[in-house]
């Protein structure tokens, strides 16, 4: 008997699907089977309904998401479609995309115990299970630590442990590796695979970065986006996905267009930069020096927590006019006073940044910069602040082609949203653009768009500095890489 079986399952957000603008229901007459102890991957284009498929199993859809579900989902023969999530908590464990947002307790041990407390376990049994789960997931040393102090990978493991603490036989994980670097991602995937082999837990994973999982999973289910799903053994799909994962090297002409001037002059020059967070006792970034020229793409790589984002934000917050060489002491003090101290951003304590005009930054989630209802409104707003009418629109068109101005920015693809954010940031006249993890959470098609976009930016004469742990993107577009470890260049 299969551990999880879908029979003619359908899901739509409204009875009349066309009223909401969607052409078809999210899922329609889906039949799937997962055997016990299977490590299954669920993938598909963004917005296709992968997470919804997962949520249908443990009841979060439709109870938390709204919508109408039909058909049957059988767990060991019992239909559970429509049951509330807390009724199925003893059978199914669920880990969300951002595990930190689901933490209830202060320490790791209490977090692991929460589920068991709800189910009425005796304290002695709870302690025993906590020790077992901690050993299984290699978090025994972390049991007394506060959850907020853990790294991303550790938080992921604690969330998995909390989901399995009461002996659940089915684990649903939504995008476990999107925020992790290659090393942590591989460790997490190995951990999940271990769960299926040694404990016979059925693990269903939704993931964009299919190339990371291909070697580990038993089966792949593709949610097509038109309501249908196709399921098969991992080997059948491997070639197609590996091909998709590969980013072609972006070819660009190496000469620089006359607008941006001499290639040799550095657009951004950083020397001995040291950054420290408020209230911290160590430097987040220490004595980092580098320079970037116009038309060049520099990638800053390193494991999570190495200080890549801190470095980028420090470059931005210290964006002051270039000091004269003989005035280095004075300019530093002037720079510090001119520096806006933003919350959560490090303060530059030493070093010099020369960048005129000041650089522009696009944060991790580019859509955060957009808040108006239509593209034309955004472009007009950006011009009214940047000074020159029509400039943003010109940059946007250069990057993206012509797009109808009345489109809502939320309806754009991720790559187009990034282009709009970049255009808005560049409208103020910066030559250097800083990008923080532009491909986080994006599927392969969007990743290709971003790579092309970066190539186009360099072609236009901008200097691009990119902080990322996406090695495929780095190989495809970067001219140079800077390895950062614990805030230092080794």
CB closer to another protein, 222 vs 419: 419
d(CA 264, CA 394): 27
CB closer to another protein, 84 vs 197: 84
CB of 178 to another protein, least distance (A): 15
d(CA 62, CA 25): 14
CB closer to another protein, 288 vs 366: 366
CB of 38 to another protein, least distance (A): 21
Q: Which two tokens stand for residue 358?
A: 């000041």
CB closer to another protein, 119 vs 445: 119
CB closer to another protein, 35 vs 107: 107
- Max Cα–Cα distance, the chain, nearest Å: 79
E-strand spans in 13-150? 27-34, 39-43, 68-75, 78-79, 92-95
| Residue among 65, 72, 20, 26 at smallest CA distance from 45 | 26
**Radius of gyration (C-alpha) of the chain in whole angstroms:** 25
Angle at 424 (CA atoms; ends 418, 425), nearest 5 degrees: 90
CB of 1 to another protein, least distance (A): 24
CB closer to another protein, 83 vs 398: 83
Question: Residue for token digits 């209230």?
Answer: 279
In the complex, the residues that contact another protein under the rule CB under 8 A are 58-60, 63-64, 84-87, 89-90, 92-94, 96, 98, 101-106, 109-110, 113-123, 126-127, 162-163, 166, 279, 316-317, 340, 342-345, 361-363, 368-369, 371-372, 381-382, 384-386, 424-425, 428
Q: What would the DSSP string read from start to end of 254-290? A: SS--GGG--SSSEEEEEEEEEEE-TT-SS-SEEEEEE
CB of 97 to another protein, least distance (A): 8
CB closer to another protein, 162 vs 205: 162
CB closer to another protein, 92 vs 442: 92
CB of 94 to another protein, least distance (A): 4
d(CA 80, CA 71): 10
CB of 408 to another protein, least distance (A): 14
CB of 114 to another protein, least distance (A): 6
Q: In Å, how far are 208, 229, 442 from 447, measured between CA atoms?
A: 11, 23, 6
CB of 257 to another protein, least distance (A): 27
Helix ranges, 42-107 (H): 50-58, 60-63
Question: Residue for token digits 């460790």?
Answer: 187
d(CA 182, CA 475): 14
d(CA 423, CA 381): 12
């Amino acid at each position: 008997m299969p551990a999880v079986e879908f029979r003619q399952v359908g899901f739509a957000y409204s009875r009349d699907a066309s009223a909401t603008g969607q052409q078809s229901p999210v899922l329609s007459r889906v039949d799937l089977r997962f055997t016990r102890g299977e490590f299954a991957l669920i993938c598909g284009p963004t917005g296709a309904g992968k997470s919804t498929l997962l949520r249908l199993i443990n009841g979060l859809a439709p109870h938390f998401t709204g919508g109408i579900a039909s058909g049957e989902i059988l767990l060991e023969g019992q239909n559970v479609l429509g049951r509330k999530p807390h009724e199925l908590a003893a059978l199914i464990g669920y880990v969300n995309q951002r595990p930190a947002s689901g933490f209830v307790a202060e320490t790791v041990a209490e977090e692991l115990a929460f589920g068991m407390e709800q189910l009425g376990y005796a304290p002695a049994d709870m302690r025993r299970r906590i020790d077992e789960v901690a050993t299984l997931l290699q978090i025994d040393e972390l049991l007394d630590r506060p959850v907020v102090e853990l790294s991303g990978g550790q938080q992921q493991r604690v969330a998995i442990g909390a989901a399995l603490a009461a002996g659940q036989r089915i684990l649903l994980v939504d995008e476990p590796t999107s925020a992790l670097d290659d090393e942590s991602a591989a460790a997490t995937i190995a951990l999940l695979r271990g769960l299926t082999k040694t404990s016979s837990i059925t693990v269903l994973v939704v993931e964009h970065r299919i190339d990371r999982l291909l070697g580990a999973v038993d089966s792949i289910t593709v949610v097509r986006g038109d309501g249908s799903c196709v399921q098969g053994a991992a080997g059948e799909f491997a070639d197609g996905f590996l091909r998709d994962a590969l980013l072609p090297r972006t070819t660009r002409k190496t000469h620089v267009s006359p607008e941006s001037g001499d290639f040799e002059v550095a657009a951004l020059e950083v020397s001995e930069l040291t950054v420290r967070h408020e209230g911290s006792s160590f430097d987040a970034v220490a004595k980092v020096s580098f320079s970037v020229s116009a038309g060049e793409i520099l990638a800053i790589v390193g494991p999570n927590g190495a200080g890549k984002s801190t470095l980028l934000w420090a470059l931005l917050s210290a964006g002051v006019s270039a000091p004269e060489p003989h005035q280095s002491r004075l300019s530093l003090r002037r720079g510090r006073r001119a520096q806006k101290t933003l919350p959560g951003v490090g303060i530059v304590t030493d070093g010099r940044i020369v960048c005129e005009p000041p650089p522009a930054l696009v944060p991790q989630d580019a859509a955060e910069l957009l808040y108006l209802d239509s593209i034309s409104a955004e472009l007009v707003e950006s011009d009214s602040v940047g000074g020159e009418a029509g400039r943003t629109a010109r940059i946007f068109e250069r990057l993206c082609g012509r797009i109808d101005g009345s489109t809502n920015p939320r309806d754009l693809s991720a790559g187009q949203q990034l282009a709009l954010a970049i255009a808005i940031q560049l409208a103020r006249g910066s030559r250097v653009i800083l990008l923080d993890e532009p491909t986080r959470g994006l599927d392969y098609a969007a990743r290709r768009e971003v790579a092309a976009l970066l190539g186009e930016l360099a072609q236009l004469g901008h200097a691009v500095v990119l902080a990322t742990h996406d090695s495929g993107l780095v190989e495809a577009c970067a001219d140079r890489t800077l390895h950062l470890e614990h805030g230092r260049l080794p």
